[in-house]
């Protein structure tokens, strides 16, 4: 039996995506803080993708994919499934390029993300993430309505688009005369960490790239330890809704299994504390799933002492009650 052939992106695809995104995506800042550096005994840089268009890095991949649609495909429209950030990226990109989008969202998606999808003109269809398959529902609607499916991570153009965040990080560090020893990003399906790993490893082959995940949903960490993809036992039970997926993506795993140094998992309390520290010292709002890499560093679960480390803060679409809880705990 022959092995499957994967359409993997390369560094040139990230460069192409960066050109396509020019004038549409925000070149987000790389932040640092003396208090955090002193606490860690390291040089910490935070790539603030929470300031990206639609409030998360997901706009990068969505625009890179949807902007390539033909006129005939734009007439058909697109469909995507997401707990919110990919959804908002897709509907924004769809509106900008002149097409329309239907979005499958879990019933427990944060209200702020549902409102964001509707702001951009997206049609929302809900499902129960614990008992229903978003992939099956999405495939059915795509077939019935003729829509183009825009997956959240299993697509070479999505991965390349997300990789532009890593490319910017490398360029911004170079402008400071620095090179990262460690780079960490949240991992759900693995598209961002795959694209970021491509960009970082191209410039700095010896840099370590780490996946960060919630405790109980650390499928990348366990997959890397096992040497093959493993699944999460459940799909609910964490405040990090944005990065809860059944298992690492099949396409993204082809990159992440070779690029990643490992994975680290953080608790909900560590996530909330990191949100509070980011607000207090970096003056940014980061949602739970987007702050796990920073939480891994601040909690000491990722050892960065004496190192130059970069983490991606990938989104800021958090409900008021959750953010208030973080500030109370932190």
Tens of pLDDT, residues 75-99: 999 999 887 899 999 999 999 999 9
Q: Does domain 11-56+156-329 have CATH number 3.40.50.720?
A: no
Q: Is 46 exposed, middle or buried (0-12, 13-18, 19+ CB in 10 A)?
A: buried
CATH (residue range 59-149): 3.40.50.1100
| Helix%, strand%, coil% for the chain, nearest 5 | 50, 15, 35
Structural contact between residues 91 and 101, judged by C-beta atoms closer than 8 angstroms: yes
Same fold, 11-56+156-329 and 59-149: yes
Give exposure, 159-183, as e/b (b: 16+ Cβ within 10 Å).
Answer: bbbbbbbbbbbbebbeeeeeebbbb
Is the pLDDT at 38 greater than 80? The verdict is yes
Torsion angles phi and psi, residue 310, rounded to 5: -120, 135
Is the pLDDT at 1 greater than 70? The verdict is no
pTM for this prediction: 0.95
Rounded distance between C-alpha atoms, residue 25 and residue 18, angstroms: 9
Cα 236 vs. chain centroid, distance in angstroms?
18
Q: Where are the domains of the chain?
A: 11-56+156-329, 59-149
């Amino acid at each position: 039996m022959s092995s499957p052939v994967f359409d993997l992106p390369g560094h040139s695809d990230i460069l192409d995506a960066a050109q396509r995104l020019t004038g549409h995506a925000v070149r987000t800042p790389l932040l640092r803080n003396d208090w955090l550096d002193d606490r860690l005994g390291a040089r910490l840089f935070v790539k603030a993708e929470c300031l990206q268009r639609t409030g998360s890095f997901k706009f990068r991949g969505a625009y890179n994919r949807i902007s390539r649609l033909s006129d005939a495909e734009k007439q058909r429209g697109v469909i995507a499934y997401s707990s919110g950030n990919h959804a908002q990226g897709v509907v924004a990109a769809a509106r900008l390029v002149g097409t329309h989008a239907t979005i499958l969202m879990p019933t427990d998606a944060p209200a702020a993300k549902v409102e964001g999808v509707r702001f951009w003109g997206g049609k929302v269809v809900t499902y129960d993430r614990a008992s229903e398959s978003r992939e099956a529902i999405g495939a059915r609607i795509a077939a019935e309505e003729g829509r183009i499916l825009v997956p959240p991570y299993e697509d070479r153009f999505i991965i390349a688009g997300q990789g532009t965040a890593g490319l910017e990080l490398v360029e911004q560090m170079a402008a400071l005369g620095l090179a990262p020893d460690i780079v960490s990003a949240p991992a759900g399906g693995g598209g961002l960490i795959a694209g970021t790993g491509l960009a970082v490893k191209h410039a700095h082959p010896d840099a370590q790239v780490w996946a960060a995940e919630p405790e109980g949903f650390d499928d990348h960490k366990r997959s890397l330890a096992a040497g093959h993809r493993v699944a999460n036992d459940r799909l609910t039970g964490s405040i990090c809704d944005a990065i809860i997926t059944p298992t690492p993506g099949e396409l993204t795993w082809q990159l992440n299994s070779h690029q990643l140094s490992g994975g680290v998992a953080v608790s909900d309390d560590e996530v909330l504390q990191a949100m509070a520290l980011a607000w207090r010292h970096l003056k940014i709002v980061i949602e739970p799933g987007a702050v796990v890499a920073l939480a891994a560093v601040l909690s000491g679960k990722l050892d960065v002492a004496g190192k130059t480390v970069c983490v991606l803060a990938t989104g800021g679409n958090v409900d008021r009650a959750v953010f208030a809880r973080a500030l109370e705990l932190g």
